[in-house]
Chain A
Amino acid sequence: MTKYIIRRLLGIIPTLLVIITISFFIVRVAPGGPFDGERALPEVVKRNIEAKYHMDDPLLIQYGRYMFDVLRGDLGPSFRYKDHDVNFYIFQSLPNSMILGVIAISLSIIFGITSGMLAAVKQNTWVDYLSMALAVVGISVPLFVIGPVLQYVFAMRLGWLPTSGWFTAGDGWKTIILPAVTLAFADFATIARLTRSSMLETLRSDYIRTAKAKGMKPSAIIFKHSMKGAMLPIVSYLGPAFAGIITGSVVVEQVFRIPGLGKFFVQSSFNRDYTLIVGVVIVYSVILVIMNFIVDIVYSLLDPRITYK
């Protein structure tokens, strides 16, 4: 087991290196820097800027320096904001995004699995139809439509919840409800559908027939005999789910005006603040890679058939 974990950890390294390398070259190879558009700058202007950001060194030296900095945890200076470096902005906004993301993924897992299980167990009843209808909505309606619609209904029309903001005075934790629900929606839908189909598949399997033939109660069959097997596809979906949450948070933070990493990301991509964009992508990738790693470990713990060799 320990060996397996170590091997998986070692497997992460190339992915991270590739991410950093891609990030570096995207910035350097990109036509033009933050200070020019599609057209090339006059030589004088260009040289000044390049000297300032060490862009006049040979590419390999730049790459080495960048790699060294990133591995040290330094994401470099911002091209646009002169006061602080990239690290400062990222660590200022990351906690907000993390809170939102963790709540959203928890919501989607809890409600997704529950409604998927209900739908499977009560197949072809109104419970099934209702939860699958909800899931189809989650899959078909984009986040940026769900968000404003929830905002319109619950904040503007009904006035139950604040429209936007982040732990603003008076509203406090209430500000988190709408964004978290919005963000959770898409993954909820996928998890619910996945749970339903994998649960149905498990319920049709031979070993469930054995359990029935032994005279077990339906509840015991569902919770003791089916759950574990049925959860495996959901666990392996969690990797993409985290990616979805990260992508979704970019929009949700925009819609609900949350000072998170995603909002920063969009802003800096409008500003062409390359170091900041790349910094954010590296942070996101590291989170994603770590999450995938955890998911892998959890999967191997759940499925006794997996060997750690």
Chain B
Amino acid sequence: MTNATSPDTYKRLLEVKGLQTYFKTDAGIVKAVDGISFTLNKGETLGIVGESGSGKSVTNLSIMRLIPSPPGKIVGGEVLFEGKDILKLSEGELRHLRGNDISMIFQDPMTSLNPFLRISTQMIETIRLHQSMSRREALAKSIEMLKLVGIPAAEERIHSYPHQFSGGMRQRVMIGMALSCEAKILIADEPTTALDVTIQAQILELIQELSKKLDTAVILITHDLGVVAGMCDTVCVMYAGKIVEKAKTDDLYANPSHPYTYGLIQSVPRLDKAHDGKLFSIEGQPPNVIDLPPCCPFHPRCHKAMDICRTQYPPTKDLGNGHEVSCWLFIDEKEHSHE
């Protein structure tokens, strides 16, 4: 659709517009992702933050068209990769894109590698899928990648099975495998959640370092705002399948506008700020996204909730400098009363 070749489009690597992914369940339709939009520029690192169940992972699986269907279905929106709509690609084109242009790292390194195949087999096949290389060349490249991600004795260990590696090592292998085809976008879906705290930082650093080195754009999905602060250029905050706030990282931390973002930032334990011994927390639970009434889904947990929050979803308001927020607090008084 949008094939306009303005210089702006070149800069934009990935553009998600009004993406909607629904799941059909016994209890009703789950609107896991309900009309979200964002852009990812070349070399940029984008963070997507939210509680579990807010639709972060589904967003990214939708980008790769990896939603298990049924029950899931992408019902609307566009995902433009370099101007082409991924959602309209044929299976063959899609396969060419996966792993080659966009690659993924998953949450659980323990189950994401095939336990029945040697690491070498899994890496070589990935490389040879997208690059014309001999088996030997691919093996050499794989070993190189493993060295790059910091696997000691890579020449020998590449012939091991996944279960012979520790969790952190496996995630390194995953990263090495994901970057082995020099993908333009790396989607990291909570890459550190399943790992020990000590390993988490190492893995994140590795991702950051390699993405700089290979000039890869990264979408980092996490529920940890601390991680985002250190790594991302831009942040999207998701709640109940919608992006409630989107801003440059510094801007977001300096100026959290949505009450939810504010709450999230407040709830990060910080050593540099004195507090009265009590950690801040947002009360209540994230809502079940089945059959949500038309309202701001955050209102039951919101300290600043108004009457209108209970009846209508707020429109998105641009606060300038790409800082967007969806909250009635920022809608003009006039507009407000008009509504």
Do A and B pair up? The answer is: yes
A213 near B113 with CB under 8 A, answer no
State in angstroms the CA–CA spacing of A237 and B243 once bound together: 49
When the two chains form the complex, which single residue of B94, B112, B130 contacts A207, counting CB atoms closer than 8 Å?
B112
Q: Find the residue from B97, B100, B114 having the highest chain A CB count within 10 A.
A: B114
Q: Is A145 an interface residue (CB 8 A)?
A: no
A216 near B112 with CB under 8 A, answer no
B112 near A215 with CB under 8 A, answer no
Q: Number of residues in B with C-beta < 8 Å to the partner? A: 29
Q: Is B117 an interface residue (CB 8 A)?
A: yes
State in angstroms the CA–CA spacing of A183 and B174 once bound together: 47
A209 near B97 with CB under 8 A, answer no
State in angstroms the CA–CA spacing of A290 and B184 once bound together: 55
When the two chains form the complex, which single residue of A213, A224, A303 contacts B99, counting CB atoms closer than 8 Å?
A213
B116 near A215 with CB under 8 A, answer no
A213 near B111 with CB under 8 A, answer no
B163 near A304 with CB under 8 A, answer yes
B114 near A213 with CB under 8 A, answer no
B115 near A215 with CB under 8 A, answer no
Q: Is B98 an interface residue (CB 8 A)?
A: yes
Closest residue on chain B to residue A209 by CB atoms: B66
B111 near A207 with CB under 8 A, answer yes
A206 near B116 with CB under 8 A, answer no
Q: Is B129 an interface residue (CB 8 A)?
A: yes
Query: Measured between C-beta atoms, what is the minimum distance from A97 to chain B in Å?
Result: 35
When the two chains form the complex, which single residue of B98, B100, B125, B163 contacts A212, counting CB atoms closer than 8 Å?
B98
Closest residue on chain B to residue A216 by CB atoms: B129
Closest residue on chain A to residue B160 by CB atoms: A304
Give residues 85-110 of B contacting A (CB, 8 Å): 94-100, 103-104, 106, 108
Known A-B contacts A212-B66, A213-B64; the reply to A304 vs B115 at CB < 8 A is yes
State in angstroms the CA–CA spacing of A76 and B130 once bound together: 69
A217 near B115 with CB under 8 A, answer no
A216 near B66 with CB under 8 A, answer no
Chain A interface, DSSP helix/strand/loop, else mixed: helix
State in angstroms the CA–CA spacing of A213 and B100 once bound together: 9
A207 near B115 with CB under 8 A, answer yes
Interfacial chain A residues near B111, Cβ < 8 Å: 205-207
Query: Measured between C-beta atoms, what is the minimum distance from A187 to chain B in Å?
Result: 24
Closest residue on chain B to residue A305 by CB atoms: B163
State in angstroms the CA–CA spacing of A214 and B117 once bound together: 15
State in angstroms the CA–CA spacing of A220 and B98 once bound together: 15
Q: Is A228 an interface residue (CB 8 A)?
A: yes
Closest residue on chain A to residue B95 by CB atoms: A215
Interfacial chain B residues near A213, Cβ < 8 Å: 64, 66, 98-99, 103-104, 106
Interfacial chain B residues near A216, Cβ < 8 Å: 95, 99, 125, 129
B106 near A209 with CB under 8 A, answer yes
Interfacial chain A residues near B38, Cβ < 8 Å: none
Q: Is B68 an interface residue (CB 8 A)?
A: yes
Closest residue on chain B to residue A302 by CB atoms: B116
State in angstroms the CA–CA spacing of A14 and B178 once bound together: 52
A215 near B114 with CB under 8 A, answer no
Interfacial chain A residues near B113, Cβ < 8 Å: 207, 210
Query: Measured between C-beta atoms, what is the minimum distance from A82 to chain B in Å?
Result: 58
Known A-B contacts A206-B106, A206-B108; the reply to A214 vs B116 at CB < 8 A is no
State in angstroms the CA–CA spacing of A217 and B128 once bound together: 13
State in angstroms the CA–CA spacing of A204 and B66 once bound together: 11
Give residues 182-240 of A contacting B (CB, 8 Å): 204-207, 209-217, 220, 224-225, 228-229
B116 near A210 with CB under 8 A, answer no
State in angstroms the CA–CA spacing of A207 and B100 once bound together: 18
Q: Is B193 an interface residue (CB 8 A)?
A: no
B117 near A210 with CB under 8 A, answer no
Query: Measured between C-beta atoms, what is the minimum distance from B114 to chain A in Å?
Result: 4
Closest residue on chain A to residue B177 by CB atoms: A214
Interfacial chain A residues near B117, Cβ < 8 Å: 224-225, 228
Q: Is B161 an interface residue (CB 8 A)?
A: yes
B163 near A215 with CB under 8 A, answer no
Interfacial chain A residues near B126, Cβ < 8 Å: 214
State in angstroms the CA–CA spacing of A207 and B110 once bound together: 9
When the two chains form the complex, which single residue of A210, A224, A228 contacts B106, counting CB atoms closer than 8 Å?
A210
A215 near B96 with CB under 8 A, answer yes
State in angstroms the CA–CA spacing of A304 and B159 once bound together: 12
B114 near A210 with CB under 8 A, answer yes
Interfacial chain B residues near A304, Cβ < 8 Å: 115-116, 161, 163
Closest residue on chain A to residue B96 by CB atoms: A215
Q: What is the 8 Å Cβ interface bit string for chain B, positions 148-177, against chain A (1 contact, 0 not)?
A: 000000000000010100000000001001
Closest residue on chain A to residue B174 by CB atoms: A210
Known: A214-B103, A217-B95. 9 other contacts (CB 8 A): A206-B112, A209-B112, A212-B66, A213-B98, A215-B100, A216-B99, A224-B117, A224-B125, A304-B163
* Interface residues, chain A, with chain B CB atoms under 8 Å away: 204-207, 209-217, 220, 224-225, 228-229, 302-305
The 10 tightest CB contacts between A and B, nearest first, are A215-B98, A215-B99, A214-B99, A206-B111, A228-B116, A207-B114, A215-B95, A304-B161, A213-B104, A206-B112
Show 16 residue pairs from A and B whose CB-CB distance is below 8 angstroms, ordered by the A residue. Answer: A205-B111, A206-B111, A206-B112, A207-B112, A207-B113, A209-B112, A210-B174, A212-B66, A213-B104, A214-B125, A215-B96, A216-B95, A216-B99, A216-B125, A303-B116, A304-B163
